A and B are shown apart, each in its own frame.
Chain A
Amino acid sequence: MTKENITAEKQFLTPFNVVAGIILLVGAVITILRFTKGIGAVTNLDNNNPWGLWIGFDLMCGVALAAGGYVTSSACYVFGLKKYHSAVRPAILTAFLGYALVVFALHYDVGRPWRLPYPIFYSQGTSSLLFEVGLCVFLYLTVLFVEWTPAAFEWLGFKKIRAWVVRLTMVLTIFGVVLSTLHQSSLGALFQIAPSKLHPLWYSGYLHVYFFISSMFAGMSMVIFEGTLAHKWLHHKMDETHLAEAEGVVLGFGKAASFVMMGYIGIKLIGLAVDNNWHYLTTGWGLWFLVELVGFVLFPAILYGMGAREKNTTFIRIAAFWTVLGIILNRLNISVIAFNYHLPSADRYVPSFMEVGTTIFIVTIGLVVYKFIATRMPILYEHPDYKEHH
């Protein structure tokens, strides 16, 4: 074996690649089981709990945390905040992969993947919120794909088609904001048809508003969190512009997230007051609700605020990670934990290890594809041939 071969093998057998490889292998086995033995063979879902971790985490959290795409592109292109330009491509890529994996994960839950186009092209259920969500995700995934293609075309050297797509940027951004407004809120509205199943502290006539507003700071937090990880692992791929603008992105998004989160707490209090649900706060569920609202919204909002005021990016990065956890907790509370809260504990849903394994498998696919794209295409740096275009 030559020295070059040994070096190449060492470069390939990194801890990330080995762990990711094992997860992908286990995930492939679970996938085979799911699609050959049926959903009952790999999940703990039943008639009481037809939606579990795959919907609660892979779909609900996936869509919320992919909101960085519309937040960043609208900040840069619609509101003209060009100082955030370097954050647009990583945010669009994260959003594109996020939505693609949401659709991918949905196959595990729904089954029969060849029927994916049915709700759009064959049998539209126009009175259903799920149809609205499906249509928006279908359209927005297409928008995100087109928004991402300039990076791929720059990498491939397709100058003409890249120039054509770049001309569509503003239209695509506006389309993306409209579609995100619709489906982010519709995911919350889905649970408004189940007032007897969702605990009153989480159920509200404003649930769709909560989902949309929380998607804004979820997106901003995810941009900061993903940027932090990229700085740690892909620092060598960043150019001077990206590195110079990074602190401004963190401070600006941290400030905006703090303000939106305070507003979110305000409308959550209004929701409690309108339904007069204050008395539930003294129960066990109330304590859990306060853990979510105070521990994972108010606390990071204050941390964001202090970080933005003191120009302390460490505070903001911690707050971003904390907020991402808070969004996951909120979406799981609504779709799994506080859903069917009245059922006896024997009938409550706990995900099987294969459901958890599938979720880890899908997140790992996202990480591997992100790494593959970010190490090859101009995501974290400007392609030298197109610098004057930005």
Chain B
Amino acid sequence: MEFFTLHDFMTYSKGITYLIMGAILVFMPLYWLYLTDRDD
């Protein structure tokens, strides 16, 4: 991926960052359920 302006770079890197953050927000509660669903 080539960038010509700082704006290009920020748009790309922040876009990916927000996608990862969204994935974490979905994954972490599900992982907590995986860890705890067999607890008494």
A binding-site residues for B, Cβ under 8 Å: 255, 258-259, 262-263, 266, 269-270, 273-276, 305, 308-311
Contact = CB atoms under 8 A, between A and B. Distances in A.
B35 A276 contact: no
Contact of A274 (B1, B13, B36): B13
Interface of B: 1, 9, 12-14, 16-17, 20-21, 24, 27-28, 31-32, 34-38
Given A255-B35, A262-B27, A309-B34, A276 B13 contact: yes
By secondary structure, the A interface counts as helix
Contacts of B35: 255, 258-259, 305, 308-309
Given A266-B20, A270-B24, A309-B34, 7 more contacts: A259-B28, A259-B31, A273-B16, A274-B13, A276-B1, A276-B13, A305-B35
Nearest to B15: A273
Contacts of A311: 38
A108 to B, nearest CB: 41
B32 to A, nearest CB: 6
Contacts of B38: 309-311
A390 B1 CA distance: 61
B38 to A, nearest CB: 6
**SS class, residues of chain B in contact with chain A:** helix
A274 B9 CA distance: 10
A273 B17 contact: yes
Nearest to B38: A309
Contact of B20 (A258, A259, A269, A275): A269
B19 to A, nearest CB: 8
Given A255-B36, A266-B24, A309-B38, A274 B31 contact: no
A245 B9 CA distance: 53
Given A262-B27, A263-B28, A266-B28, A273 B34 contact: no
B20 to A, nearest CB: 5
A318 to B, nearest CB: 17
